[in-house]
């Protein structure tokens, strides 16, 4: 599809006029444009992407159809994600809103999200295949969490739980671990700075497990959490705690 045809497609999808059309430097088969448009609903700042020919994404799950499915699946779920404006399978093109501070939603973060979508989710209106879940015996080495405030996160995860801070200098993030590991938890505000805590119906991580050396360490952690006003509940016989941002985790003793 020509550049002109793609711009006309966007204008028709919006029912308005495209006032800015700027192609970014294309590093692979996927070309990206930044667009501004005047529509009946007001001014819109957009990102448009089109797939052309063979490239590093050909034959993989990282298709524009799955990207469209991602935006559609997360709509209204409390996740800061672009709004899907239009997707055209014949043109292999997608248009979405442009987020502040993230003008081009390409790159590793988006690719990671797309890889997490069920394999059967091949378009914005498709239904996913059954999720097979994590294989028995699977162990997650580290977890990244959205938090709204880094100092508050450090006070909880380091000050209360006792994790060691390993990186404090990375913009908008804090990395903590135990035993010298590079990081067991990455705590970042990249899409959640100043946000409200998660609620039970927020789409995202249901919980994770912190494995401590023994039962005495679990009891000590529960005591510190209780003293800090975050007394754990219980899930499946294990203490269930929640951080100040609504992220839940259980505490268990290692074998």
Q: What is the pTM of this model?
A: 0.53
E strands, 108-237, in order: 143-146, 164-167, 173-177, 185-188, 208-212, 233-235
CATH superfamily of 3-116: Phosphorylase Kinase; domain 1 (3.30.200.20)
- Reply yes or no on whether the pLDDT at 27 is more than 70: no
d(CA 232, CA 225): 7
Measured at the CA of 143, the angle between CA 142 and CA 148, to 5 degrees, comes to 145
Per DSSP, what are the bridge partners of residue 33?
23, 48
- Reply yes or no on whether the pLDDT at 167 is more than 50: yes
d(CA 174, CA 176): 7
Q: How buried is residue 78: exposed, middle or buried, by Cβ count under 10 Å (0-12/13-18/19+)?
A: middle
Query: What is the model's pLDDT at position 239?
Result: 97
Q: What is the pLDDT of residues 186-242, one digit of tens each?
A: 999 887 888 888 887 777 788 899 999 999 999 999 999 999 999 999 999 999 999
Query: What is the model's pLDDT at position 128?
Result: 45
Query: What is the model's pLDDT at position 38?
Result: 93
Residue with tokens 């966007």: 10
- Reply yes or no on whether the pLDDT at 89 is more than 50: yes
- Reply yes or no on whether the pLDDT at 19 is more than 90: yes
Return the structure tokens found at 65: 């159809």
Query: 199: number of CA atoms within 13 Å, CB side?
Result: 6
Query: 124: closest CA among 179, 155, 83, 78?
Result: 83
Query: What is the model's pLDDT at position 120?
Result: 47
d(CA 230, CA 160): 10
Strands 248-253 and 208-212: parallel
d(CA 60, CA 161): 41
Strands 143-146 and 185-188: parallel
Share of the chain above pLDDT 90, in %: 39
The domain segmentation of the chain, as residue ranges, is 3-116, 143-253
d(CA 215, CA 104): 47
Domain 143-253: give its CATH code.
Answer: 3.10.180.10
């Amino acid at each position: 599809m020509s550049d002109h045809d793609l711009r006309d497609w966007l204008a028709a999808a919006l029912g308005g006029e495209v006032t800015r059309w700027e192609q970014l430097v294309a590093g692979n088969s996927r070309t990206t444009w930044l667009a501004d448009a005047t529509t009946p609903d007001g001014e819109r700042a957009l990102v448009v992407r089109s797939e052309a020919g063979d490239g590093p994404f050909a034959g993989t799950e990282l298709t524009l159809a799955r990207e469209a499915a991602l935006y559609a699946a997360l709509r209204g779920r409390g996740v800061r994600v672009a709004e899907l404006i239009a997707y055209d399978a014949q043109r292999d093109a997608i248009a979405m809103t442009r987020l502040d501070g993230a003008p081009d939603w390409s790159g590793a973060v988006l690719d990671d999200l797309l890889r997490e979508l069920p394999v059967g989710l091949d378009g914005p209106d498709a239904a996913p295949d059954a999720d097979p879940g994590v294989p028995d015996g699977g162990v997650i080495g580290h977890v990244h969490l959205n938090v709204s405030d880094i100092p508050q996160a450090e006070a909880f995860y380091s000050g209360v739980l006792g994790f060691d801070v390993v990186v404090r200098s990375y913009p908008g993030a804090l990395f903590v671990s135990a035993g010298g590991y590079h990081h067991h938890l990455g705590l970042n505000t990249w899409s959640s700075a100043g946000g409200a805590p998660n609620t039970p119906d927020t789409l995202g991580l249901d919980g994770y497990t912190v494995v401590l050396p023994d039962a005495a360490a679990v009891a000590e952690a529960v005591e510190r959490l209780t003293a800090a006003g975050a007394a754990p509940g219980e899930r499946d016989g294990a203490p269930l705690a929640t951080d100040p941002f609504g992220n839940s985790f259980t505490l268990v003793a290692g074998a």
